[in-house]
């Protein structure tokens, strides 16, 4: 095959070609463009495109867990599979030519002067790599250390996002976990000689790719970097340019370690005798010609000067179909059911019905009829909720709504009038239970929002559309026949009306996304100033105390977790706030974590985590640490100047201490490198890596040994 006879070494520069591909990959995978992640509703490798989590081991792992993982990270699984196939046949082309994470650190490292570098290639990479890989796959999950906590695939996109103005990315980089990861990327990437130490030592994807590369190297039909030791002169140029330390000199001849080689082909480019080659066959079989592929010919040649015929039949069919669609739209547009037995819309349907109340506040009394008839309460008489109105125009302070009152609607499944009383009972047992459930009037909305910290029925729910446009579109895609048939009578706005909407909700199940659920909670919990006013019961002290910093920042810490990222990306498998904090079928009964009946109480956490569609292995006794891992850790939240004062609790963070120590080490290396570079300039010496250059020459290049490389 001609593809297999192509050599990148024939290009002007393999390195230039690689760097152009890496820069293009950064544009495709990283913010602000995020072209590839955007196909899966994400900005980076988190979520569906994650390549690093689906193969983690958890004690008690069941097939159900494996199925969930594959469904949560489908694109990441597919990408790893394609990468493995390409690696098996052609070597580690993903790592060398495509991966934007390792590639960008290499680009930065190439720009920095040599005196700022650490020579990691002298280390025995394989034991370090697979020792850490074993710890990453098996030990970190058991110890409840998130795989996201040490992830260069997480940090590098956020560096780009922060540089392009992303506030969430900047907040992560300023968190203890973020600072630790940035310091690691700097020490093992930017300040590493050739920029690939993180790839060679800590990257789990690189560890998997290296195993596949080594396995594929045993077959003669696969392409690999191979050495003809009979032609090798021992010049050591190949070992010197190898970015991952895969080429070493043994007995004055080059040897390639396929467990470390990334197939970058820079060694092939610098090998003057031609001993290093990117071959399909072994050197003994070199030179065998590939079979030529014949040129394709057209089956039927077009006549010169002939024009395409006009297909009148298709044109007439298209016109008739368009007229039919126009007729259906015109006759069904006003088919939405409208009910206004109380006649309220006679006044409230008038546009511009506005007035100033006694406090000078602008009141808008106009009701959008399209929104109202498509809302949850759109088919109910207004007096069902606004009771006590006996004159018109009415006093705005009258007609207060009581969410626990009986409705006029008969519930088909029970034959009784519908009521929210059971829901109100649940609500009263929750931490929000002192919130308002009745007395809702238009005039009281301002007092309710200004004076009450506790959520009310109206604050969370309102009179929202029964079916969102997105849910209607999902129904039309899932049930195209029903859409065509039902639309004859129930077209237009009635798709969101109460009766057809009720049918759609039953057929489609959940109509509110996990992110929309979380936004309801964020109305209060994302307001840091509001949360700082909250007082919580301290049972040990027997009195109420101000909420902790962990509680105040709970919304921010959740957004930084994998749960929050999946929800923001639109995944229906993501656990929302309600999924963890509210019992099934009792969504309003959210209790304090200290309450023994709470879903987040220590005695109930395993059951909550093992709920359908989540972590089935959580019930295993070996998963105790995993179950109790803190998903609202302050280590995920940006450190602010006020957090560094004694007694704030932030200084007790091991992540903050580690990140600070690594950052200090990077600063020391930068300072020492600057001083060494100044000495080199003044002394006219050739600059080498600040740390490890002598050991690299001795152990890898074998210079200075008897019979060693020249």
3-state per-residue secondary structure call for 206-245? HHHHHHHHHHHCCCCCCCEEEECCCCCCCCCHHHHHCCCC
Say how far residue 393 (Cα) sits from the centre of its chain.
Answer: 53
High-pLDDT (> 70) share of the chain, % = 80
Asked if residue 183 has pLDDT above 60, the reply is: yes
Q: Give tens-digit pLDDT for 65-84.
A: 788 888 889 999 999 999 99
Max avg pLDDT among 86-90, 283-287, 561-565, 678-682: 86-90
Asked if residue 710 has pLDDT above 60, the reply is: no
Asked if residue 118 has pLDDT above 90, the reply is: yes
Distances (CA, A) of 402 to 382, 386, 443, 458, 466: 13, 8, 15, 11, 20
Asked if residue 393 has pLDDT above 50, the reply is: yes
CA distance 232 to 248: 12
Crossing angle (nearest 10°) for helices 654-683 and 176-185: 30
Q: Give the DSSP H/E element, type plus range, for residue 279.
A: strand 276-279
At 347 the pLDDT is 87
Asked if residue 584 has pLDDT above 90, the reply is: no
Q: Give the DSSP H/E element, type plus range, for residue 326.
A: helix 312-332
At 290 the pLDDT is 30
At 336 the pLDDT is 44
CA distance 468 to 465: 6
At 377 the pLDDT is 77
Which of helix, strand or coil describes residue 79?
helix
Delimit the domains of the chain by residue range.
Answer: 2-215, 337-373+379-462, 528-638
DSSP 192: B
Q: Of 414, 355, 99, which is closest to residue 243 (Cα–Cα)?
A: 99
CA distance 710 to 708: 6
Is residue 308 within 8 Å of 468, Cβ to Cβ?
no
Better-scored residue on pLDDT, 535 or 391: 535
CA distance 599 to 583: 6
Considering the chain, what is the average pLDDT of its residues?
82
Q: Which residues pair with 250 in a beta bridge?
A: 253
CA distance 90 to 106: 22
At 297 the pLDDT is 34
Q: Give tens-digit pLDDT for 316-366.
A: 677 777 777 666 555 444 444 456 777 888 888 888 888 887 777 788 888
Least confident of 232-246, 403-417, 458-472, 570-584: 458-472
pTM for the whole thing?
0.78
Least confident of 200-214, 274-288, 522-536, 565-579: 274-288
Least confident of 42-51, 131-140, 281-290, 625-634: 281-290
Categorize the per-residue pLDDT at 172 as very low, low, confident or very high, splitting at 50, 70 and 90: very high
Tokens of 257: 């370690």
Q: Residues 162-190: what's their mean pLDDT? A: 94
Tokens of 151: 């992830």
Q: Residues 160-180: what's their mean pLDDT? A: 93
Asked if residue 495 has pLDDT above 60, the reply is: no
- Write down the residue that tokens 């720009």 correspond to: 111
């Amino acid at each position: 095959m001609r593809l297999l006879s192509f050599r990148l070494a024939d290009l002007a520069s393999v390195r230039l070609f690689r760097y152009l591909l890496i820069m293009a990959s950064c544009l495709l995978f990283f913010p602000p463009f995020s072209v590839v992640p955007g196909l899966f509703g994400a900005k980076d490798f988190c979520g569906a495109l994650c390549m690093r989590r689906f193969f983690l081991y958890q004690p008690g792992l069941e097939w159900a867990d494996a199925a969930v993982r594959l469904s949560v990270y489908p694109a990441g699984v597919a990408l790893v599979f394609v990468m493995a196939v390409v690696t098996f046949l052609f070597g580690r082309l993903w790592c060398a030519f495509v991966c934007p994470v390792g590639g960008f650190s290499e680009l930065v490292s190439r720009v920095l002067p040599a005196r700022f570098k650490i020579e990691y290639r002298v280390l025995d990479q394989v034991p370090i790599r697979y020792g850490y890989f074993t710890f990453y796959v098996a030990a970190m999950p058991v110890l409840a250390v998130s795989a996201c906590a040490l992830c260069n695939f997480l940090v590098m996109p956020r560096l780009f996002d922060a540089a392009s103005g992303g506030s969430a990315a900047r907040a992560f980089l300023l968190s203890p976990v973020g600072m630790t990861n940035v310091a690691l990327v700097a020490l093992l990437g930017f300040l590493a000689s050739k920029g690939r130490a993180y790839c060679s030592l800590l990257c789990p994807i690189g560890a998997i790719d290296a195993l596949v590369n080594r396995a594929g190297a045993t077959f003669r039909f696969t392409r690999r970097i191979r050495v003809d030791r009979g032609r090798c002169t021992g010049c050591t140029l190949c070992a010197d340019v190898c970015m991952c330390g895969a080429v070493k000199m043994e007995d004055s001849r080059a040897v390639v370690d396929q467990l470390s080689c990334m197939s970058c082909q820079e060694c092939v480019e610098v090998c003057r005798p031609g001993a290093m080659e990117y071959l399909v066959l072994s050197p003994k079989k070199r030179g065998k010609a590939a079979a030529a592929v014949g040129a394709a010919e057209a089956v039927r040649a077009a006549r010169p000067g002939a024009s395409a015929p006009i297909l009148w039949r298709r044109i007439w069919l298209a016109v008739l179909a368009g007229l039919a669609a126009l007729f259906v739209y015109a006759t069904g547009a006003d088919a939405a059911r409208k009910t206004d037995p109380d006649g309220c819309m006679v006044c409230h349907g008038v546009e511009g019905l506005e007035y100033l109340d006694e406090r000078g506040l602008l009141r808008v009394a106009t009701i959008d009829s399209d929104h109202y008839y498509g809302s949850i309460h759109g088919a109910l008489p207004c007096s069902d909720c606004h009771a006590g109105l006996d004159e018109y125009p009415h006093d705005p302070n009258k007609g207060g709504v009581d969410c626990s009152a009986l409705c006029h609607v008969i519930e088909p499944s029970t034959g009784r009038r519908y009521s929210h009383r059971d829901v109100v009972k649940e609500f009263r047992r929750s931490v929000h239970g002192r919130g308002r459930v009745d007395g809702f009037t238009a005039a009281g909305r301002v007092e309710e929002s200004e004076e009450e910290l506790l959520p009310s029925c109206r604050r969370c729910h309102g009179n929202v559309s029964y079916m969102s446009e997105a849910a209607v579109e999902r129904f039309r895609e899932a049930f195209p026949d029903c859409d065509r048939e039902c639309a004859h009578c129930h077209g237009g706005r009635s798709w969101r009306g109460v009766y057809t909407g009720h049918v759609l909700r039953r057929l489609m199940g959940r109509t509110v996304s996990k992110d929309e659920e979380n936004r309801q909670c964020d109305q209060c919990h994302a307001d840091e100033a509001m949360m700082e006013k909250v007082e919580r019961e301290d049972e040990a002290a027997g009195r109420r105390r101000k909420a902790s910093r962990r509680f105040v920042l709970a919304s921010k810490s959740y957004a930084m977790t994998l749960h929050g990222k999946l929800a923001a990306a639109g995944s229906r498998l993501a656990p929302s706030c309600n999924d963890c904090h509210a019992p099934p079928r009792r969504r309003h009964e959210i209790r304090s974590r200290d309450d023994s009946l709470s879903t987040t109480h220590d005695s109930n956490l395993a059951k909550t985590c093992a709920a359908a569609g989540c972590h089935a292995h959580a019930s295993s006794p070996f998963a105790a640490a995993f179950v109790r891992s803190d998903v609202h850790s302050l280590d995920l939240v940006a450190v602010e100047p006020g957090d560094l004062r004694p007694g704030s609790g932030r200084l007790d963070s091991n992540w903050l201490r580690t990140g600070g120590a690594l950052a200090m080490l990077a600063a020391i290396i930068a300072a020492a490198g600057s001083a060494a570079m100044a000495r080199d300039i003044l002394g006219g010496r050739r600059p080498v890596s600040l740390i490890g250059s002598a050991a690299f020459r001795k152990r890898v290049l074998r210079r200075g040994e008897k019979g060693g490389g020249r």
